[in-house]
Amino acid sequence: MSEVYATRRSRLRERCNAAGTAAALISRPANVRYLAGAAPQGAVLLLGRDQDQQDQLVCPVPPEDRPADGRPDESLVLHILSTPGRDPAVAAADLAGSQGSEALAVEEHHLTVARYRALDAVAPGLRLAGLGTAVEQLRLIKDEEEISCLRIGAEIADQALGELLESILVGRTERHLALELERRLVDHGAEGPAFPTSVATGPNSGRPGHRPTDRRVEEGDFLSVCLGAAYRGYRCEIGRTFVIGTSPADWQVELYDLVFAAQRAGREALVPGAACRDVDRAARQVLDSAGHGAALQPATGHGVGLEIDEDPQLAPAAMGKLDACVPVTVEPGVHLPGRGGVRIDDTLVVRPEADGGPELLTITTKELLAL
Amino acid sequence: MSEVYATRRSRLRERCNAAGTAAALISRPANVRYLAGAAPQGAVLLLGRDQDQQDQLVCPVPPEDRPADGRPDESLVLHILSTPGRDPAVAAADLAGSQGSEALAVEEHHLTVARYRALDAVAPGLRLAGLGTAVEQLRLIKDEEEISCLRIGAEIADQALGELLESILVGRTERHLALELERRLVDHGAEGPAFPTSVATGPNSGRPGHRPTDRRVEEGDFLSVCLGAAYRGYRCEIGRTFVIGTSPADWQVELYDLVFAAQRAGREALVPGAACRDVDRAARQVLDSAGHGAALQPATGHGVGLEIDEDPQLAPAAMGKLDACVPVTVEPGVHLPGRGGVRIDDTLVVRPEADGGPELLTITTKELLAL
- In a shared domain, residues A105 and A188: no
Distance (Å) from the alpha carbon of A195 to chain B's nearest alpha carbon:
13
**C-alpha Rg value of chain B to the nearest Å:** 23
Handedness of CA A11, A14, A20, A25 (dihedral sign): positive
Question: Which residues, numbered 318 to 357 in chain B, qualify as contacts with chain A under a Cβ-Cβ cut-off of 8 Å?
Answer: none
Domain count, chain A: 2
Residue A32 in this model has a pLDDT that exceeds 90? yes
Residues B331/B261, Cβ–Cβ less than 8 Å? no
Task: Please check whether residue A197 lies inside any domain of the structure.
Answer: yes
Task: Select from A41, A110, A175 the Cβ nearest to the Cβ of B112.
Answer: A110
| A183 contacts in chain B (CB < 8 Å) | 176, 179, 183
- In a shared domain, residues A106 and A149: no
Confidence of residue A296 (pLDDT cuts 50, 70, 90): low
Half-sphere exposure of A289 (CA within 13 A, CB side): 10
Per-residue pLDDT tens digits for A33-68: 999 999 998 999 999 877 667 899 999 888 877 777
The number of C-beta contacts closer than 8 angstroms across A and B is 78
Distance separating alpha carbons of residues A223 and A205, to the nearest angstrom: 6
Cβ <8 Å between B108 and A112: yes
- In a shared domain, residues B134 and B197: no
Domain CATH number, residue B225: 3.90.230.10
Alpha carbon A55 to its chain centroid, in Å, reads: 26
Interface contact A175, partner B, CB < 8 A: yes
What's the pLDDT score for residue A60?
A: 87
Q: What percent of chain A stands above pLDDT 70?
A: 98
CA angle B175, B179, B183 (to 5 degrees): 170
Task: Please check whether residue B369 lies inside any domain of the structure.
Answer: no
Task: Please check whether residue A365 lies inside any domain of the structure.
Answer: no
A291-316: buried (b, 16+ CB within 10 Å) or exposed (e) per residue? ebeeebbbbbbbbbbbbbebbbbbbb
A76: Cβ contacts below 8 Å, ≥ 6 apart? A5, A36, A45, A54, A55, A56, A57
Alpha carbon B77 to its chain centroid, in Å, reads: 28
What's the pLDDT score for residue A158?
A: 97
Cβ <8 Å between A112 and B111: yes
Per-residue pLDDT tens digits for A257-291: 999 999 999 999 999 999 999 999 999 999 999 98
What's the pLDDT score for residue B16?
A: 86
Task: Please check whether residue B312 lies inside any domain of the structure.
Answer: yes
Closest alpha carbon within chain B to A83: B298
Q: For an interface test with A, which of B179, B296, B314 has the most A Cβ atoms less than 10 Å from its Cβ?
A: B179
Alpha carbon A279 to its chain centroid, in Å, reads: 18
CA angle B20, B25, B30 (to 5 degrees): 120
Cβ <8 Å between B84 and A179: no
Distance (Å) from the alpha carbon of B84 to chain A's nearest alpha carbon:
5
- In a shared domain, residues B349 and B204: yes
Residues A127/A104, Cβ–Cβ less than 8 Å? yes
Handedness of CA B156, B158, B162, B165 (dihedral sign): positive
Task: Please check whether residue B301 lies inside any domain of the structure.
Answer: yes
Cβ <8 Å between B211 and A315: no
What's the pLDDT score for residue B296?
A: 64
- In a shared domain, residues B263 and B171: yes
DSSP state of A54: P
Residues A223/A241, Cβ–Cβ less than 8 Å? yes
The closest of A284, A321, A285 to A303, measured between CA atoms, is A321
Alpha carbon A104 to its chain centroid, in Å, reads: 28
The number of beta carbons lying within 10 Å of the beta carbon of residue B144 is 10
For residues A243-259, give the mean pLDDT: 94
| A317 contacts in chain B (CB < 8 Å) | 85
- In a shared domain, residues A118 and A15: yes
A365: Cβ contacts below 8 Å, ≥ 6 apart? none
Domain enclosing residue B135, as ranges:
2-139
DSSP state of A55: P
- In a shared domain, residues A245 and A297: yes
Confidence of residue A294 (pLDDT cuts 50, 70, 90): low
- In a shared domain, residues B184 and B317: yes
The number of beta carbons lying within 10 Å of the beta carbon of residue B190 is 26
- In a shared domain, residues A261 and A131: no
Where helices occur in A201-249 by DSSP H, the ranges are: none
What is the rounded end-to-end Cα distance, in angstroms, of chain A? Answer: 45
Domain CATH number, residue A78: 3.40.350.10
The closest of A213, A227, A202, A216 to A342, measured between CA atoms, is A202
Residues B225/B198, Cβ–Cβ less than 8 Å? yes
| B176 contacts in chain A (CB < 8 Å) | 183, 186
The number of beta carbons lying within 10 Å of the beta carbon of residue B168 is 8
- In a shared domain, residues B319 and B208: yes
Where helices occur in A248-296 by DSSP H, the ranges are: 250-268, 276-289
Counting other chains too, the contacts that B96-100 makes at CB distance below 8 Å and 24 or more residues apart are B96/B23, B96/B25, B96/B46, B96/B123, B96/B126, B97/B122, B97/B123, B97/B124, B97/B125, B97/B126, B98/B123, B99/B23, B99/B48, B99/B53
Cβ <8 Å between A175 and B182: no
What is the rounded end-to-end Cα distance, in angstroms, of chain B? Answer: 45
For residues A244-254, give the mean pLDDT: 92
Of A117, A139, A161, the residue that ends a domain is A139
Interface contact A109, partner B, CB < 8 A: yes
What's the pLDDT score for residue A113?
A: 97
Instruction: Give the DSSP H/E element, type plus range, for residue A80.
Output: strand A77-80
What's the pLDDT score for residue B246?
A: 78
- In a shared domain, residues B110 and B192: no
Q: How do B229-231 and B234-235 pair as beta strands?
A: antiparallel
Task: Please check whether residue A371 lies inside any domain of the structure.
Answer: no
Of A118, A139, A160, the residue that ends a domain is A139
| B182 contacts in chain A (CB < 8 Å) | 179
Closest alpha carbon within chain A to B64: A210
Closest alpha carbon within chain A to B66: A213
Task: Please check whether residue B45 lies inside any domain of the structure.
Answer: yes
Task: Select from B41, B84, B186 the Cβ nearest to the Cβ of A175.
Answer: B186
Task: Please check whether residue A261 lies inside any domain of the structure.
Answer: yes
What's the pLDDT score for residue B208?
A: 87
Distance separating alpha carbons of residues B150 and B155, to the nearest angstrom: 9
Interface contact B176, partner A, CB < 8 A: yes
Highest mean pLDDT among A97-106, A220-229, B11-20, B99-108: A220-229
Per-residue pLDDT tens digits for A157-201: 999 999 999 998 999 999 999 999 999 999 999 999 999 999 999
The closest of B312, B314, B318, B345 to B331, measured between CA atoms, is B345
Interface contact A66, partner B, CB < 8 A: yes
Residues A270/A349, Cβ–Cβ less than 8 Å? no
Q: For an interface test with B, which of A107, A112, A174, A313 has the most B Cβ atoms less than 10 Å from its Cβ?
A: A112
Cβ <8 Å between A211 and B66: yes
- In a shared domain, residues B210 and B318: yes
Distance (Å) from the alpha carbon of A188 to chain B's nearest alpha carbon:
12
Residue A119 in this model has a pLDDT that exceeds 80? yes
Handedness of CA A75, A81, A85, A90 (dihedral sign): negative
CA angle B355, B358, B363 (to 5 degrees): 115
Q: For an interface test with A, which of B112, B187, B276, B300 has the most A Cβ atoms less than 10 Å from its Cβ?
A: B112
What's the pLDDT score for residue B143?
A: 96
What's the pLDDT score for residue A61?
A: 82
Of A85, A120, A139, the residue that ends a domain is A139
Cβ <8 Å between B113 and A116: yes
What's the pLDDT score for residue B50?
A: 73
Low-confidence ranges of chain B (pLDDT < 50): none
